[in-house]
Amino acid sequence: MKQTTTIMNFSDIYYQEHFYESLDYNFLDCSKLEGTNCYCSNETEQILLKMLSQIEPSGIHFIDSGNYHYVTKLWLGKLLIPFTLILFDHHPDMQPTLINTLTSCGSWVKDTLEQNPNLKQVILIGASNELCQSIPLHYQSKIIYFTKESIQANPKKILAQLRALPTSHPIYISIDKDVLCSQDASTQWSQGTMTLPVLSQLLSPLLSHPKLLGIDICGEQDNNPLLPHFEEQVQKNDTANRILLTQYLSLARLHSKAS
C-alpha cells in the first residue's frame, strides 16, 4: 500500500500543528469552500471529489475536526472492491439528516451503508452501549460493535477479536479522536474513555492487515485561539496525531518489506 500522507485543511487548524511537517505530504486547502462545516452541500461534494480525484485512497489522510468526518464517505467511494470499514468513534454517525440531499458529519455512516454497495460491514469501536443500542435494527446486520464499556472492562479481549479478523477481506480504518479520553485528545464533541496507548494497541493488528486499503483521522480542536487552554489542547492533538502517524508509517514499512 502506498504510504501517501494527505492533509485536508478545512479550518486552518493544521497550521497550528507540526506532526506532518517533516514528511512528504499532499496539502489540500479546503478552507475557502462554502457548505462544509458539519454538512456538505452537493456542489461542495463535487468540488471535493475533484480535489481527491488524483490521490489514491491508500495511505493516511488527516481530515480536520469531526465536523468534516463525512469526508470519509468520499474516500470510501474511491474504493473499487468490497471492504469492511473499521470505525473508531465515540458516536455511530448514523443519524438521519434534516435535509435528505445533504451528507452530514452525523449521518455519513448511514449514508455510506445505503449508497455504497462495496461497504459490506462496519466494525464500530468505542461508542457507548446506549448509542450502539440505538442503531436502527435494519442496519444492525451489517454492524459489529465493541462498546467503550467492553473496552474498559477487557481491552485484551477486544484486541484478540481484532487479531482474529479474516485477513482475506480488505479493510479501511477511520478514526475520530473523540473516541479518546480528554487527557489524550481535545475535540469539538463529547469524548470517550479510551486512552491513546489502548487505541495504539487495538490499531496494531489492523495496521498490519495485509489488505489495508487506507486510513483517515479526524477530531481536531476548534481553531479558536480565544478558547481556554487553546495552545495546550492543540499540542495534545498534535502529539496524538504524531504518535498515530508514526505507528502507521512504521507498520506500513514493515509490511511493505515483508511482502
Show me where the domains of the chain are located.
Answer: 5-258
Res. 128 pLDDT band, cuts 50 70 90 = very high
| Whole-number pLDDT of residue 199 | 98
Q: Round to whole Å and give the CA distance between 249 and 236.
A: 20
Q: Round to whole Å and give the CA distance between 186 and 236.
A: 7
Which long-range contacts does 142-150 make (Cβ < 8 Å, 24+ apart)? 142/113, 145/92, 148/90, 148/179, 148/192, 148/193, 148/194
Residue 40 or 214, more confident: 214
Cβ contacts of 170 within 8 Å, gap of 6 or more: 79, 81, 82, 83, 84, 211, 212, 213
Residue 146 or 107, more confident: 146
Residue with cell 469539538: 188
Res. 95 pLDDT band, cuts 50 70 90 = confident
Among 183, 175, 197, 198, CA closest to 233: 183
Q: Round to whole Å and give the CA distance between 13 and 9.
A: 7
Rounded to the nearest 10 degrees, what angle do helices 155-163 and 196-207 cross at?
A: 10
| Whole-number pLDDT of residue 255 | 63
**pLDDT greater than 60 at residue 1:** no
Cβ contacts of 250 within 8 Å, gap of 6 or more: none
| Whole-number pLDDT of residue 108 | 87
pLDDT tens sequence across 204-238: 999 999 999 999 999 999 999 999 999 999 999 99
Which of 178-182, 187-191, 201-205 is predicted least confidently?
A: 187-191
| Whole-number pLDDT of residue 223 | 95
Extract the runs of DSSP E, i.e. beta strands, from 21-91: 26-29, 39-40, 60-62, 83-88
pLDDT tens sequence across 61-75: 999 999 999 999 999
Task: Domain 5-258: state its class.
Answer: alpha beta
Strand 171-176 versus strand 83-88 pairing type: parallel
> What is the CA 14 to chain-centroid distance, rounded?
16
Which of 9-18, 27-36, 133-142, 215-224 is predicted least confidently?
A: 133-142
**pLDDT greater than 60 at residue 259:** no
